[in-house]
Structure 1
């Protein structure tokens, strides 16, 4: 155990060429900021031999080249780096994302919450969201910051196919899908934003640590924005 910017961090081997830096056991914005701060610190001031880093909700997976640095030495250097983190100084990108609130679970979820669909959409759009991690599928964005009143268990029976760019709720989390696929989340809308495109310089649109707000658009607005996005135009307003 090593003392870090969170109360304690634990650094453990993950195979023969990676270590996991764990900041906590639960999901928390402050802990996630520590994870992102360490990730960016390693990007800005690399440790020789580190090949790749993958942030999650509460930990950072660090891949390294054993021919260039030993795991024990890397562990010591990561522990020392964790002690000097200043997550409050880590800049965050901010985006305002359009959503058409016509998802397949909107009416059922609104009834479950004793709200009108319009009220549920408004409550969702009032949230302040943080990208905790990218995972499950390339570009899939896991979001913290869902208003407590909207937290809802996932479906008992997952759907076999959910379209890309769907906006969903799963427990106390929110998400935006990146590729078509199965899911047990409850989906209340869709955005014309393309979250993953292998042809872009950065294939995943969002990064862990980004801040997101949503605003409602009509189905016609969604279609128009989708055409603009397909033409390469930026449709998520950077704040």
Structure 2
């Protein structure tokens, strides 16, 4: 029988008078990040909570101190952390077509060499996983995706590039992601997708949200 997850305790710090940051101590895991996402969903409906923002290893709550005080909120969060009402999240699914290698995948061979595998194995392993959006950060629309196979873990570049094209699929350490805007980046670029990840003209500017599930589908490979 599978034993239930017993999560480590959360530490808490105040961010001014109307926000709290709850931190889960490393090492992080997909199961713990899933719990952060479930607690964020649950607390977003808590009276007095204005915003629940999941991050890597943490959860920030912005609240109205006239409706709920800090001590009450900490008690609610700790209860939800130990005994979440949800046992499984309902998540949106996205499949992203990717052309690997070439001009917009110039680090594909480096990732392969670093891990002692072929470029074809990099592509196959990258497409085989189902990724969870842990949180959005770095720049608007950029999703940090958890679930990268250990054979693809590759340290970030020592010297970041000053311009990485929006749509570039990349690997940074134990995570993967897609550049949402054309900006500097130190991640290893392995491919390109034509999906748009941030559009400030629409009601929901970011394509992806924390908790979404993402799969990559190879539609080509360039040398």
Same fold (TM over 0.5): yes
**Structure 1 length-normalised TM:** 0.82
Which residue number in structure 2 is paired with residue 89 of structure 1?
Answer: 88
1:5–1:40 Cα change, 3 Å: farther
Q: TM-score, normalised by structure 2?
A: 0.87
Question: 2:60 — aligned with what?
Answer: 61
Question: Structure 2: any 5+ residue segments left out of the alignment?
Answer: none
**In structure 1, what is the equivalent of residue 34 of structure 2?**
33
Partner of residue 162, structure 1: 164
CA–CA distance in structure 2, aligned partners of residues 89 and 110 of structure 1:
35
* Residues 166 and 182 in structure 2, CA contact (< 8 A), matched pair in contact too: yes
Which blocks of at least 5 consecutive residues in structure 1 are unaligned? 221-239
| Greater share of residues in helix | 1
Asked if the contact 2:99/2:192 (under 8 Å) is kept, the reply is yes
Distance 1:203 1:156 in 2: 31
**Cα gap change, 1:176 to 1:86, in 2 (>3 Å):** farther
Paired positions, count: 215
Contact 1:48–1:68 (8 Å) recurs in 2: yes
Q: Which structure: greater strand fraction?
A: 2
- 1:138-217 alignment to 2 at 5 Å? 138-217=140-219
Is the partner of 2:9 in helix, strand or coil?
coil
* Residue 5 of structure 1, CA deviation: 6.1
Aligned counterparts of 2:141 and 2:35: Cα–Cα separation in 1:
21
In structure 2, how many angstroms separate the alpha carbons of the residues matched to 1:30 and 1:81?
Answer: 15
Deviation at 1:190, TM superposition (A): 1.1
Q: Which residue does 1:135 correspond to in 2?
A: 137
The residue that corresponds to 2:125 in the other structure is: 123
